[in-house]
Structure 1
Amino acid sequence: MNPVVRWFHQLGSPPYFDRFAARWAPWAYLLALATMAWGLYGALFLVPADYQQGDSFRILYIHVPSAWMSTAIYALMAAYAAIALIWRIKLCEILAMACAPIGAAFTLITLATGAIWGKPMWGTWWDWDPRLTTELILLFLYLGVIGLYHAIDDRRAAARAAGLLAIVGVALLPVIRWSVVWWNSLHQGQTIRLLGESAMDPSMLPPLWWMALGTHAWFVGSLLARARADNLRREAAKDWVRRQAEAAP
């Protein structure tokens, strides 16, 4: 068997995943703290003020990576949910449900920083702009997945029901992505491109990439930690969990 395929099969084993998550989650958090600290330092002290927005624009170094994560995590959650529904892989159920609170947090940060940024730029904390409105709907979808998962006692049935809602909600993602193109609104158009030339000055971009790397690493650490906790709760009656608890100092 191909080593990569064998590793994925091993990862589906609850004891193996527990050891994997326990080992790598702290390293992911450490990488996240280091990269975000450097990114914030660059955003606050190395990057010049914007010629139009002044220092207010610096909040984009939190707002933009959080916005990217809010949609990326939802897409990943739906992918895990689809795999779990089709192939009945329990670990994918756990990972899908672990994505929801993290994605909701990033979405809330996106909305909050957008409001803080919007007040001096637009003169209002909130406007029913298509980008803002669809991002708010995304938060409600995350909360719906979380609520549905916790409303059903049977964990596997709950994960399947919540996963189905997550899959249906994927239809919102392209609307969020293209809302600034499809509608004229207060929200500025796309200025940062992963592929191609960005509208921002190149000197302003490095801290943003560091912050993006940091948010991704934080997500990995949080996902592993939350999934490990859920995995242990589900497997609490198994011998390997009892042995691990007895061996703990």
Structure 2
Amino acid sequence: MPIDPNVSYTVLRAHSAHAHEIEIKKSRFLALLKRVDSEAAARDFIAEVKAQHRDARHHCSAFLVGPSRETGRTSDDGEPSGTAGMPMMQSLSTYKSPTQREEGLEGDLSDVCAVVVRWFGGVKLGAGGLVRAYSGAVAEALETAPLKTRMRSRSLSVPLAHSDAGRIEDDVRTAGFTVLPTRYEAHAAVLTIAVPDREIDVQNALDTVTSLTSGQYTPELGDIDWYDVPLL
């Protein structure tokens, strides 16, 4: 069953920046992508890139933030209006993960900032050439970027005997659930899984854990939060 788009979206892997460079008619275009969680974080990244590459003529940017992409901004940074920032935004907003392509789903990439640094090579590219260069640099960078799924989840905790923890954790993983780091306490190993925040998924998880443990352990429902899980 596909994950409800209201409870998940695609993001870059946390704490990583990704770079990809192309060259067109002696102009170099360095695309830099970074995971951001706010407009302020995006602007900090843009400023950081500008400071690192002061010798470049342009530092164009686009970013999307939020589960519903509620915040988005672009900048042409001196390039002709509409030839850099908006094409970059188009590449971000239309990107689809391999699974989304296979299943005919819409793209949902967010919490991402793209900056394309251009070193002018002496040959003018024209408006169309610039659009293709800026959009292409970002699109190519996304094809090799490390991605995750950001999922609004209900946590489900199961206090287990230490002797059972490894076996049951393996069984839960094999059943297809996202297992968060197990917490080892003096009298129990607390197994925690993240379940999509939908009633049908939560009930399925409760039933599955109860079955896998033969009713020996009682799952406890926890808080709702956003978690990074493997790309869906």
TM over 0.5: no
**Length-normalised TM-score, structure 2:** 0.30
Q: Which of the pair has more CA radius of gyration?
A: 2
Structure with more of its chain in helix, by fraction = 1
Structure with more of its chain in strand, by fraction = 2
**Length-normalised TM-score, structure 1:** 0.29
User: Which structure carries more relative contact order (alpha carbon 8 Å, separation 6+)?
Assistant: 1
